[in-house]
Amino acid sequence: MARRVPSYTGRTFPYWIDESNGHTNLRLVGRNLAVGAWAAPREFKGWSGIIDFYGSSREDPEEYPEGASLLRIPFEDGQQFPKGALDTALMFVQAHRKDGPVLFHCAAGLSRSASAAYAMLRVLDGLSHEDALERVQTENTDYPMQATLNSARGWVQRRRI
């Protein structure tokens, strides 16, 4: 039975919803912002929007819950964000976050999705690099991958000029 994703109610972030296996790896990282692995979209209900960062090994979309808006961005693990991807994600988050949690997800919920959430936390919530990274990083400090995270950091810096 699917569980409803809780929204922000004064929790300390990251707030782990399910860290029991690598298939979900789901955590709230900010008010109505979540990061998770490939199974997170279908194992929980209540998403306002889902951003799927998928690689070449996943041509077909996963099953997504009804009612959630979906944005799919092709993007290989460990690479820089494609041109315009974070701008598109920003507009999507701005449009859907007010209605409930927006999920950033990729295969493991560690690099692509975490780096995108990091960028949104910096731009939309005004968090510092350290605070945003602390929210999206798991115990495995090898992630987010440096090329992907640095790409997100560069996008944040260009927006602030």
pTM confidence score: 0.91
As for how many domains the chain has, the answer is: 1
In a domain, 1, yes or no: no
Question: Could you say which residues of the chain have pLDDT below 50?
Answer: 1
Element (H, E) at 117: helix 112-125
Q: Is residue 103 part of a domain?
A: yes
Task: Give residue 89's domain range.
Answer: 14-159
Among residues 80, 41, 73, 40, which one has the least CA distance to residue 58?
Answer: 73
Confirm if 72 and 52 have CB atoms less than 8 A apart: yes
Task: Report if residue 120 sits inside a domain.
Answer: yes
Q: Is residue 43 part of a domain?
A: yes
Quick one: pLDDT at residue 61?
57
- Given this model, what pLDDT does residue 55 score? 82
pLDDT digits (tens, 9 = 90+) for 118-148: 999 999 999 999 999 999 998 888 899 999 9
CATH number for the domain spanning 154: value is 3.90.190.10
Q: Is 46 contained in some domain?
A: yes
Residue 4: inside a domain: no
How many other C-beta atoms can be found within 10 angstroms of the C-beta atom of residue 67?
Answer: 10
Residue 88 inside a domain? The answer is yes
φ, ψ for residue 115, nearest 5 deg: -65, -40
pLDDT at 66: 80
pLDDT of residue 1: 44
